């Protein structure tokens, strides 16, 4: 299990930094920024240079990647139902990702309620879609297995 967690952490760091960098690069290009902007202007202004802001962003992107990679381990607990796995993963990622996203400058600290409600609703919708998809895949697998069992009984 320790090796699995360690490998998840490493993968989370790599994927988190890659995705964070690609999103920041895409936004910098889309807004035709004269320099690379790792996050919002208000975030970058907290640092002495764009380089320091980028270094801080890399750390936050790595932590975000770790949250999602390690949080996904709950889907490997086979004795748990799909619902329990999904709800547990939702709680882990929501509680740990939200403050990291605020620290990364993706959401303003104030007014808190203006973005938090819509963010929470979007997060819930994404997890409902994940749960429905997982349930459909599981039901299809059960149907296939039952069909195979019925064929072997004949």
> What does the mean pLDDT of the chain come to?
93
Least confident of 12-26, 107-121, 126-140: 107-121
- Residue 94: the pLDDT is 98
Quote the CA–CA distance of 69 and 106 in Å, as a whole number: 20
Q: Across the chain, where does the E strand assignment appear?
A: none
pLDDT band at 144 (very low <50, low <70, confident <90, very high): very high
Contact 67, 100 (CB under 8 A): yes
Cβ–Cβ < 8 Å for 88, 131: no
pTM value is 0.88
């Amino acid at each position: 299990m320790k090796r699995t967690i360690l490998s998840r952490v490493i993968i989370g760091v790599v994927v988190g930094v890659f995705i964070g960098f690609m999103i920041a690069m895409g936004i910098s290009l889309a807004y035709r920024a004269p320099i690379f902007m790792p996050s919002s202007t208000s975030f970058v202004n907290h640092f002495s240079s764009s380089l320091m802001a980028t270094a801080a962003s890399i750390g936050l992107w790595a932590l975000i990647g770790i949250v999602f990679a390690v949080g996904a381990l709950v889907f490997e607990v086979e004795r748990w139902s799909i619902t329990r796995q999904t709800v547990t993963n939702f709680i882990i990622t929501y509680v740990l990702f939200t403050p990291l996203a605020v620290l990364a400058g993706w959401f303003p600290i104030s007014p808190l309620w203006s973005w938090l409600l819509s963010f929470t609703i979007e997060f819930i919708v994404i997890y409902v879609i994940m749960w429905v998809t997982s349930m459909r895949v599981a039901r299809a697998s059960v149907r296939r297995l039952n069909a195979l069992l019925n064929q072997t009984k004949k």
